[in-house]
Structure 1
């Protein structure tokens, strides 16, 4: 993407003979590079922990979000896979509860781990719901 932006900016800069295409192209390249530099840190900021009574989910770098979802409150555990995720063998696991505020999505899981976690959560949720 960066190569395309630089090529288009250079082409327009040479054709128009104004400095603004260089500034716009440079700004786009700079924003892209800064975004790419933060991707590994954003990936490390996502995590989950299976506890005895609930699932604890963590996300965020500056504004961190911790959500504890009790197993008995889970209504739906869904796996989503887009075309890019399928190409890399990844999946997104989504938990739905009665409260919209506790909706949790864990992106970037390997497919086998997502399927195993889904099966485990469904079985634990069923056993916890019978006691209610």
Structure 2
């Protein structure tokens, strides 16, 4: 059973405690969906109406129909994201149809960044980006509260330095 913060009640000490992303990330993504749907709807209506005639402007209904479907998919994707800090590594899990789990050993981390664009800052969110020696490692945790992102950055940096020093 998970509590509100993503922690499982009664989890053994060595077991991973999964944490979820903030609901603000879902709001940001849905806002972007609505904005881009509006832009595409207007552009489609104008272009088809002017180039092919008013009857063809019915194609402008396609972007809103796709947005209705995308609205639900965004929530499913948001719910699929989670991360867990273990003794020797960080786990990041995501994906609805194709589940992807990334395991990043603390000793392999070279850089931990916290970024927050203007829209993320407005919604009180930040992203943690992990860089390792492997170029293919996609270790990103979006949609965290800034305080949690900074705490995670500091902890991962501390553990990474300790593991790379052999402690």
What TM-score do the two structures reach when normalised by structure 2?
A: 0.69
Per-residue CA distance 1:29-62 (angstroms, 9 max, x = gap): 1111111121111111111111111001111111
Gaps of 5+ in 1: none
Cα distance in 1, alignment partners of residues 94 and 103 from structure 2: 12
Per-residue CA distance 1:89-122 (angstroms, 9 max, x = gap): 1011000000012230111111111011101111
What TM-score do the two structures reach when normalised by structure 1?
A: 0.86
Query: Which structure ranks higher in relative contact order (CA pairs < 8 Å, sequence separation ≥ 6)?
Result: 2
Counterpart of 1:79 in structure 2 is: 114
Task: Identify the match of residue 111 of structure 1 among 136, 139, 146.
Answer: 146
Cα distance in 2, alignment partners of residues 88 and 41 from structure 1: 20
- The residue matched to 2:112 in structure 1 has which SS? strand
Instruction: Answer whether contact 1:81 1:91 (CA < 8 A) is retained.
Output: yes
Instruction: Answer whether contact 1:97 1:103 (CA < 8 A) is retained.
Output: no
- 1:67 shift after superposition: 1.0
The number of equivalent residue pairs is 131
Higher radius of gyration, 1 or 2: 1
- 1:64 shift after superposition: 1.4
Cα distance in 2, alignment partners of residues 91 and 72 from structure 1: 24
- 1:9 shift after superposition: 3.2
Structure 1 runs (4+) deviating above 6 angstroms are none
Gaps of 5+ in 2: 1-34
Counterpart of 1:22 in structure 2 is: 58
Aligned-pair Cα RMSD in Å: 2.5
Cα distance in 2, alignment partners of residues 50 and 37 from structure 1: 29
